[in-house]
Amino acid sequence: MTNWTELDQNVRTWIHEAGERIRQSFKTELNIKTKSNRNDLVTDMDEATERYFTENIRTHYPDHQILGEEGYGDDFKELSGITWIIDPIDGTMNFVHQQRNFAISIGIYDGDEGELGYIYDVVHDELYFANKGKGVYMNDVKLPKLDPVPVEDAIVALNALWVTKNKRIDSSILAPLVQDVRGTRSYGSAAMELAYVASGRLDAYLTMRLAPWDFAAGKIMIEELGGVVTDLDGNPLNPLNKSSVFVGKPGLHETILTDYLHRNK
Q: Where on the chain is the footprint of ligand IPD (CB under 6 A)?
A: 69, 87, 90-92, 188-190, 207, 210, 214
Rounded to the nearest whole angstrom, what is the least distance from the CB of residue 212 to Ca ion in the complex?
Answer: 10
Per CB under 5 A, does 69 bind Ca ion?
A: yes
Per CB under 5 A, does 214 bind Ca ion?
A: yes
Rounded to the nearest whole angstrom, what is the least distance from the CB of residue 125 to ligand IPD in the complex?
Answer: 20
Q: Please say which residue, 96 or 178, places its beta carbon nearer to Ca ion.
A: 96
Rounded to the nearest whole angstrom, what is the least distance from the CB of residue 208 to Ca ion in the complex?
Answer: 14
Per CB under 5 A, does 50 bind Ca ion?
A: no
Rounded to the nearest whole angstrom, what is the least distance from the CB of residue 186 to ligand IPD in the complex?
Answer: 8
189 binds, among ligand IPD, Ca ion, none (CB under 5 to 8 A by kind): ligand IPD
Rounded to the nearest whole angstrom, what is the least distance from the CB of residue 133 to ligand IPD in the complex?
Answer: 27
**3-class secondary-structure state, position 173:** helix
Q: Which residues are within 8 A (CB) of 1 and not within 5 positions of it... i.e. 6 or more apart?
A: none
Per CB under 5 A, does 121 bind Ca ion?
A: no
Q: Please say which residue, 54 or 207, places its beta carbon nearer to ligand IPD.
A: 207
Q: Please say which residue, 90 or 231, places its beta carbon nearer to ligand IPD.
A: 90
Helix (H) or strand (E) holding 131: strand 126-131
Residue 16 to residue 20: CA distance in whole angstroms: 6
Rounded to the nearest whole angstrom, what is the least distance from the CB of residue 246 to ligand IPD in the complex?
Answer: 14
Nearest residue to Ca ion, scored by beta-carbon proximity: 90
* Selection from 235, 255, 254 nearest residue 245 by Cα: 235
H helix runs in the chain, sequence order? 4-25, 44-60, 92-97, 171-180, 190-198, 212-224, 252-256
Per CB under 5 A, does 90 bind Ca ion?
A: yes
Q: Which of 87, 121, 203, 224 binds Ca ion (CB under 5 A)?
A: 87
Q: Please say which residue, 13 or 34, places its beta carbon nearer to ligand IPD.
A: 34
Residue 193 to residue 215: CA distance in whole angstroms: 10
Rg over CA atoms, the chain: 18
DSSP per position, 34-70? ESSSTT-EEEHHHHHHHHHHHHHHHHH-TTSEEEETT
Q: Please say which residue, 87 or 121, places its beta carbon nearer to ligand IPD.
A: 87
Phi, psi values for residue 9, rounded to 5°: -60, -40
Residue 188 to residue 162: CA distance in whole angstroms: 13
